[in-house]
Amino acid sequence: MNNESRFDRETTSENSLISESETSNRRSFIISIAAATLSTSGFLAFLASCSRNEKESHTLEPLPKSSIPNSMDKRHQIPTPQLSPTQPDIRKDINQQFDPPAEPIENRSFTIGKMNEEIHINHLLRRAGFGITPSELVYYRQIGLEKTLDHLVNYEAVDNSTLDTRLDDLKLKPSERQSDLRRWWILRMIYTNRPLEEKMVLFWHGLLTSGISTGDPLSMYQQNELFRAKGNESYVHLLKAISKDPAMLVWLDSRKNKKNAPNENFARELMELFTMGEGTFEENDVKEASRAFTGYFLVNGKYTFNDAQHDFGPKNFLSQSGRFSGDQIINVIFQQPETAEYISKKLFAFFAHDSPDIQTIEKLSTILRTNDYNIKTLMEHLLSSEEFYSPRAYRSKIKTPAEFAVGLIRNTGAETDGRKIANLMSEMGQTLFEPPDVAGWPDGISWISSNTLIQRLNYVHSITLSNLKGTTFDPNTSIIPTFSHSPDGFLKGCLETMLDGNINPSSHGILMTQLRTLENLTDESGKKVFSNEEIKRQLAFFVLASPEFQLS
Amino acid sequence: MGLLDSIFAAGIGDSPPNKNGSNRSLIVIQLKGGNDGLNTVVPYGDGLYYDARPELAIPEERVLRLTNEFGLHPSLSEIKSLWDQGHVAIIQGVGYPNQSFSHFQSQHIWKTADPFSRKSDGGDGWLGRQLANLPSKDFNWFKGISLGKTYPISPMATEELALPAIKNLRSYQLAGQSNDFKSSNFNLNILKSLYQQSDDFDPYTHHLNATLQGALSTSATLNDSYNNYSPLADYPAGNFGQELKLLASTITEKLGVRVAHLTIKGFDTHADEPTRHSELLKELSEGISAFYQDLQRHELDREVIIMTWSEFGRRVAMNGSYGTDHGSAAPLFIIGTSIQGGLYGDHPNLGNLEKGNLTFTTDFRSVYRTVLEDWLGHSDDIISHQPKFERIPIFVTEK
């Protein structure tokens, strides 16, 4: 085969590294062929032929709804959800909302498959959790979106003992070793049966920030458990608890907050970052509030109130006067209208998108104010709202490193003991328990810089095409077991699980072309160059490395 | 995609050195957290300094004297040597009107050069926007780089461009690809095509595509350049020192870096300031000294200046945790062979504080204007047309 002349004619500047073809090296052969197929004219021709063939089938074939795999891996077992005894009215709204929309969603004319319940389920699992596992996908599609939502939101009813067993077996010491602490939490995110519980912990960790570098694993471990225990209850209680949390006291330099020279750090961040937001208070309010938090001491790692150091005098805070204690300052803060708005916006931005309507925030704020700032109540509304499932929310976020790293394991059905993942997440820009500063992690586009994007791609590579210690990805047994074990079926399974079955036709064409190329490649003796497993690994790589997969 | 297309048509290399500024580099270092300027450039000759913070003030005998009135914190011994050689300009009392005491707002203000903004994210950084506004034929991927972990508060960040952000060399290489193309694990062209095909379909896909292209364009070059480079100084071991070393390699290997940004974290010394501040200043001093020496020995020191900044200074009086709370004005350093060493501007009056804070005497926009116009030969839409931001005569006049 006269490959060389074909290359010479069709090489672009990027392909100029290929100077000779060595047919003895099968990898070079395949790459040369693939590169040639992607030269401009060849690629366009392929694309044209792909489009012609794909024209009627812009939807991926829907999964057979009635097939649950016989041997569901234990780790993905989903206990029968126990529906809560009271049925809130929101359920009616959900049913009405989720008939497939009459017209295509704006900007989505390119997608395969309209926004529909299946896509909503994947979206919900990504936002209210860390992504869907292959067996969850089968199961949740069977029970439908409404029941899935119920199962996620009422997580206290869900048995999590398989997670506990898994963690016990690994004998980790999260309260004693930093690396164990991170690994412990990452494994929780991956293998919990209560995804929303862990997602809420991540939310609080990013909002009520503390860092391990000024504390020790024990206090950060305890703070993490505090978020797990109280993260779904009244925000007032959580905040009062956080004001006395040892890790927080250390992080905001309030170990010894003394009467005659109060430390302003906690008081400022309490208002600016945790409750009301910038510009809603005066410098004087910071000074007065700091007086109320004097006497908060840390002794032997435990919070103590040192009343000799407390300023019992009268304070003027946010136009109210009184001999406020720290808790009472918090009460005054919750009386301000800004507080409910601020926390609503934070939750909405984290779970839905960055530009809520004023009415949406008003609605959520009212829910908070009339329910003692109960977070679970708010989340029920948020996760069943029209806005949450709107095009503005769909794929509108960049996955944080936690969502990316954990989500990949979940989506692929990989098995891991978690040992390397925390470090790789740090390389992507997020070190758990070490937010860059007290504002937590900046969201959105800042996650993607040249360095961090390379790291994300390298993570994908390490799991699909290389060997990441402690993690096993077996393409023959992962992904959706009900699909045929052919590479075609495998690709479909990947696209359904990882990309909601929702990818633009050109990109789909690229993947299909690559699949055929890899499949059809034979050496001189007519033997196939790539095994099915190798082909599947490459496909998994491209889907997980794709730009769509970077998005939540 | 016009800008990106033309970017990739352009090669990597300098435009011919026939214009003022075209071979010069500006290195900007943020002292993140709010540097305590009073203990950095110490007004040891002013009794009020010792009255105001008796437990925190640097004792007179430990100060590294610059003049009869001012000296440096004892950790800054290397910077003191550079001062003795006449290469250090210290701009006193730098700040801005309508001080914000929030890290995020104040960083944003310094980033965008807009003191009346009360936002804390978005917008274009004063450094990044110089690059975004370059005609495309003058652009190359190394013109503006950030080293270390970076966040959108950096003055390099712009909404349009995805400038390279390099944590370290090791993490800046794409796995599964080798220089020997044939040993690669996957076809990179497929990956590139996927990013290109999705560009603009979803909110972030354009940025993703731009970032990927930037990463691929710079990764191999950076690696090769570092391998060719020979350091001619000993860099301190920590992140800052190693980032400066990597930066030095891009300059000695002439990748065309015009603007670079680095950060040292930890200056938010609300508690236990003396030890922490001392360590941080030492890190700064040792790093800058090694970098400068390296450039000198490569005979490139005339073409580089280093500038520090911080989002604010600190409160004059100590707080109850043996530290200081957020403050206002502070001095900054500009260092280089082309710099006329000395103290510039007026030290804020310690007898005339505003709610415990210093009053600024030099607007930071004057500093920006000085380095942009007199060093890089750029004029910036926002800063340059306001005559009140007078430029500061810190440069050695050409002979």
Nearest CA in chain A to B187: A31
Q: Is the pLDDT of residue B45 over 90?
A: yes
Query: Which of B199, B310, B321, B354 to mutate against chain A (most A CBs within 10 Å)?
Result: B321
What's the confidence (pLDDT) of residue A56?
Answer: 32
Over chain B, what is the mean pLDDT?
88
Arithmetic mean of pLDDT over chain A: 80
Cα distances (angstroms) measured from residue B249 to each of A178, B62, B289: 34, 36, 16
Query: What's residue B233's pLDDT?
Result: 97
Q: What is the mean pLDDT of residues A7-26?
A: 33
Q: Which of B182, B191, B319 sits opposite A545 (nearest CB)?
A: B191
What is the Cα–Cα distance from B126 to B155, expressed in whole angstroms?
Answer: 6
A115 or A152, greater pLDDT? A152
Element (H, E) at A164: helix A161-170
Burial zone of B55 (CB within 10 Å; 0-12 exposed, 13-18 middle, 19+ buried): exposed
Across A167-171, A504-508, B2-6, least confident range: B2-6
Asked if pLDDT for residue B122 goes beyond 80, the answer is no
Q: Which of B165, B191, B208 sits opposite A550 (nearest CB)?
A: B208
Q: What is the pLDDT of residues B86-106, one digit of tens each?
A: 999 999 999 999 999 988 889
Interval B186-201: pLDDT, tens: 899 999 999 999 887 6
Most confident of A233-247, A466-480, B106-120: A233-247
Confirm or reject contact between B387 and chain A (CB < 8 A). Answer: no
Residue B18, pLDDT > 70, answer no
The Cα–Cα gap between A508 and A51 comes to: 10
pLDDT at A502 exceeding the cut of 50: yes
The residue-averaged pLDDT of A498-520 equals: 93
Q: What pLDDT does residue B20 have?
A: 45
* Numbers of helices and strands, H then E, in chain A: 26, 6
SS3 percent helix, strand, coil of chain B, rounded to 5, is 35, 15, 50
Q: What pLDDT score does B180 carry? A: 64
pLDDT of A8 strictly over 50: no
Write the burial class of residue A203 (CB in 10 Å: 0-12 exposed, 13-18 middle, 19+ buried): buried
Residues A145, A124: contact at Cβ < 8 Å?
yes
Q: For A266, which residue in chain B has the nearest alpha carbon?
A: B270
Domains (ranges, CATH) in chain B? 2-154+221-376 (3.40.720)
Closest listed residue to residue A212, CA positions, set A2, A394, A424, A436:
A436
Q: How far apart are CA B278 and CA B264, in angstroms?
A: 13
Tell me how crowded residue A170 is: count the other CB atoms within 10 A of its CB: 14
Residue corresponding to tokens 């435990």: A302
Partners of residue B30 in chain A, C-beta under 8 Å: none
Q: What residues of B are in contact with residue A548 (Cβ under 8 Å)?
A: 198, 202, 205
Q: Is A257 part of the contact surface with chain B (CB cutoff 8 Å)?
A: yes
Mean pLDDT value of segment B20-31? 85
Calculate mean pLDDT across residues A380-390: 94
CA–CA dist A523, B228 (Å, integer): 40
Helix/strand/coil for A534:
helix
pLDDT band at A176 (very low <50, low <70, confident <90, very high): very high
Taking alpha carbons only, the member of B189, B260, B195, B249 closest to residue B222 is: B249
More confident call, A27 vs A77 = A27
Q: Which secondary-structure segment (H or E) carries A328?
A: helix A326-335
Q: Which of these ranges, A26-30, B139-143, B203-207, B322-326, has the smallest mean pLDDT?
A: A26-30
Instruction: State the pLDDT at residue A215.
Output: 55
Q: What is the pLDDT of residues A347-356, one digit of tens each?
A: 999 999 989 9
CB contact A542 to B (< 8 Å) = yes
Amino acid B398: pLDDT = 62
Position A481 scores a pLDDT of 60
Query: How far from chain centre, in Å, is Cα A325?
Result: 38
A516-537 average pLDDT score? 92
- Asked whether residue A99 carries a pLDDT value surpassing 50, the answer given is no
| Residue-level pLDDT at A216 | 76
pLDDT digits (tens, 9 = 90+) for B126-173: 998 888 777 767 778 898 999 987 666 688 887 777 788 888 888 898
Question: Per-residue DSSP letters for B178-234?
Answer: -SSGGG-SS-HHHHHHHHHHHTTTSTTHHHHHHHHHHHHHHHHHHHHHHHH----SP
Rounded-to-integer distance, Cα A511 and Cα A505, Å: 10
Query: Does the pLDDT of residue A34 top 50, yes or no?
Result: no
Percent of residues in chain A assigned helix, strand, coil, to nearest 5:
55, 5, 40
How far is Cα A408 from Cα A402, in angstroms, rounded to an integer? 10
Q: Do A38 and B189 touch (CB under 8 A)?
A: yes
Q: What residue spans define the domains of chain A?
A: 3-54, 58-233+394-552, 234-330
Q: How far is CA A418 from CA A166, A172, A481, B370, in A?
A: 11, 11, 24, 51
> How big is chain A by its Cα radius of gyration, in Å?
26
The two three-digit tokens of residue A30, written as one number:
């395949």
Mean pLDDT, residues B255-267 taken together: 94
CB contact A272 to B (< 8 Å): yes
Smallest CA–CA separation between B89 and chain A, in Å?
30
Tokens representing residue A36 in the block? 């040639």
The pLDDT value given to residue A58: 32
Q: Give residue A163's identity as a one-letter amino acid code.
A: L
- Asked if A504 reaches chain B (Cβ–Cβ under 8 Å), the answer is yes
What one-letter code names the amino acid at A338? E
Query: Which of A282, A451, A462, A552 is the best substitution to test chain B (most B C-beta atoms within 10 A)?
Result: A451
